[in-house]
Amino acid sequence: MAKIKENSTNSLNRKFLTDCNLTYAVQLMGGRWKLLILMQLNAGTMRYGELKKKIVNITERMLTLQLRELEADGLIARQVYAEVPPRVEYTLTDIGRQLVPICDALHGWGTLHRSHVSGEASTLFH
């Protein structure tokens, strides 16, 4: 993560939004790749390298960053095995798993929205 200026308006606004449990929740899941990671882990525990393969376009840096944040926020757990070459496994925590049904609902809403949009577009043709 890049450094953050503690007293910028930007940063203060972020803190202000943390007070609301809704925007707080969005802050926790809002990173670009976080939900994809969560959905992968919902299918089962995975190693770093497996995640990298599954999430096609993510870079190692981004994967690491998002994993670190998810871990810091308690949505996933990180298990390191003292082996060489290293083996690190990531698993959803309870609270992380509780986000999954909401993701499903969001997925459904996204699907609906998309059909809505393309549906509106198709009305142009008759």
Partner DNA sequence: TATGATACCTACAAAAATGTATGTAATGGC
Partner DNA sequence: GCCATTACATACATTTTTGTAGGTATCATA
The residue ranges that bind its own copies (CB under 8 A) are: 12-14, 16-17, 20-26, 28-30, 32, 35-36, 39, 56-57, 73-74, 95, 98-99, 101-103, 105-114, 116-117, 120
**Does 35 sit near DNA (CB under 7 A)?**
no
The binder of 8, among its own copies, DNA, none, by C-beta within 5 to 8 A per type, is: DNA
The distance of closest approach from Cβ of residue 126 to DNA in the complex, given in angstroms and rounded to an integer, is 32
CA distance 70 to 63: 11
- For the chain, how many residues are written? 126
Residue type, 47: R
Side by side, the strands of the sheet bearing 87-92 are 46-47, 87-92, 76-81
